[in-house]
């Protein structure tokens, strides 16, 4: 286990291991990549908080370049190292588009507790963290770890939710501003109004920023998250930024639509 820890800690300081058995699996395409006979999940957290941006008009996680392109090579490199160290065992990395119920796996690995908004709360990074996994056929055990009780039940996230998407009854995806900003096609009038009121081209962050556990969140230790940071998206830079940012997967049309709703509908001088 010591050798595994040394390899993992090259890319993150926060990680744990949980059994594969019993973890809920999601019906996504990447499920086909799970190794047959999987026994363990190495769960890794990557904090993404860097600093405050008073003029930010996109979700905090999307300020830096696309975390998929930053973190997946790190996870793949780790998987390759472990496969070499454990001949005959398979190690398969996942980040975001994962068949693993990530928050559940992280909790079982002793890395935290879910908040009322469903996001993981970690003692160091709060909920400002990405969750990655390496699923393996190797039987690994880091000992019994119980995640700390971090959600106080203060309901700050529920009170901060501007649309009522988050309530004591649960979560309604269709009402979530973050979901609405990502929705393709024509929006209902009330949806357009929610984007205007939220002031975000992409995402929301209200429930996350309201969580008291995030007030002392540790700054990111991923060097790439400090490069090419763009907290404000404007019409003039959409074409430059969307290919390298996490919101790029939705394409330009959604971003142009949201910018127009927010009043940033002036044509680029080059288009005159």
- How many CA within 13 A on the CB side of residue 157? 28
Number of domains in the chain: 2
Q: What is the pLDDT of residue 126?
A: 97
13 is catalytic: no
Q: What is the pLDDT of residue 144?
A: 60
User: Helix (H, G, I), strand (E, B), or coil: what is residue 36?
Assistant: coil
* Catalytic, out of 96, 155, 189, 271: 96
Q: What is the pLDDT of residue 147?
A: 65
Both 105 and 168 in one domain: the answer is no
Over residues 130-144, the pLDDT tens digits come to 999 999 999 998 766
* 102, 136, 170 - which closes a domain: 136
Supply the DSSP symbol for 147.
-
Residues 118 and 199: their CA atoms lie apart, in Å, by 23
Provide the token pair at 204. 């929301």
Interacting residues of 35 by C-beta distance below 8 A, sequence separation 6+:
90, 91, 92, 135, 136, 137
**Residue 250 counted as domain residue:** yes
* 86, 101, 136 - which closes a domain: 136
Sign for the pseudo-dihedral over CA of 237, 243, 246, 251: positive
Supply the range of the domain harboring residue 257.
Answer: 156-271
Q: What is the pLDDT of residue 142?
A: 76
| Neighbour count for residue 197 (Cβ, 10 Å) | 11
Q: What is the pLDDT of residue 270?
A: 32
**Residue 147 counted as domain residue:** no
Both 48 and 110 in one domain: the answer is yes
Interacting residues of 7 by C-beta distance below 8 A, sequence separation 6+:
78, 81, 82, 85
* 84, 108, 136 - which closes a domain: 136
**Residue 244 counted as domain residue:** yes
Q: What is the pLDDT along the chain (272 residues), one digit of tens a residue?
A: 657 999 999 999 999 999 999 999 999 999 999 999 999 999 999 999 999 998 999 999 999 999 999 999 999 999 999 999 999 999 999 999 899 999 999 999 999 999 999 999 999 999 999 999 999 999 998 766 666 689 999 999 999 999 999 999 999 999 999 999 999 999 999 999 999 999 999 999 999 999 999 999 999 999 999 999 999 999 999 999 999 999 999 999 999 999 999 996 443 333 32
**Residue 145 counted as domain residue:** no
User: 56 and 68 in contact (C-beta within 8 Å)?
Assistant: no
Both 249 and 179 in one domain: the answer is yes
**Residue 23 counted as domain residue:** yes
| Neighbour count for residue 199 (Cβ, 10 Å) | 11
Residues 144 and 95: their CA atoms lie apart, in Å, by 24
User: 261 and 202 in contact (C-beta within 8 Å)?
Assistant: no
């Amino acid at each position: 286990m010591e050798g595994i820890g040394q390899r993992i800690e090259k890319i993150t300081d926060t990680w744990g291991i949980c059994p594969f058995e019993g973890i809920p699996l999601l019906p996504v395409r990447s499920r086909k990549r799970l190794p047959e006979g999987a026994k363990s999940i190495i769960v890794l957290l990557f904090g993404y908080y860097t600093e405050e941006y008073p003029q930010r008009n996109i979700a905090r996680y999307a300020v830096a370049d696309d975390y998929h392109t930053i973190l997946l090579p790190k996870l793949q490199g780790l998987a390759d190292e472990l496969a070499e160290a454990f001949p005959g065992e398979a190690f398969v990395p996942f980040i975001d588009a994962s068949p693993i119920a990530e928050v559940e796996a992280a909790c079982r690995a002793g890395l935290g507790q879910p908040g009322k908004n469903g996001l993981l709360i970690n003692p160091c990074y709060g909920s400002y963290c990405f969750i990655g996994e390496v699923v393996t056929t190797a039987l690994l055990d880091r000992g019994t770890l119980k995640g700390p009780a971090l959600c106080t039940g203060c309901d700050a996230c529920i009170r901060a939710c501007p649309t009522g998407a988050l309530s004591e009854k649960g979560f309604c995806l269709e009402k979530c501003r973050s979901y609405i900003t990502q929705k393709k096609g024509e929006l209902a009038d009330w949806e357009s109004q929610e984007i205007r009121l939220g002031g975000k081209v992409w995402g929301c962050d209200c429930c996350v920023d309201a969580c008291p556990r995030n007030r002392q969140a540790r700054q990111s230790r991923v060097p790439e998250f400090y490069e090419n940071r763009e907290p404000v998206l404007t019409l003039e830079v959409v074409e430059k930024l969307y290919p390298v940012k996490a919101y790029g997967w939705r394409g330009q049309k959604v971003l142009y639509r949201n910018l127009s709703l927010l009043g940033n509908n002036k044509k680029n001088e080059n288009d005159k």
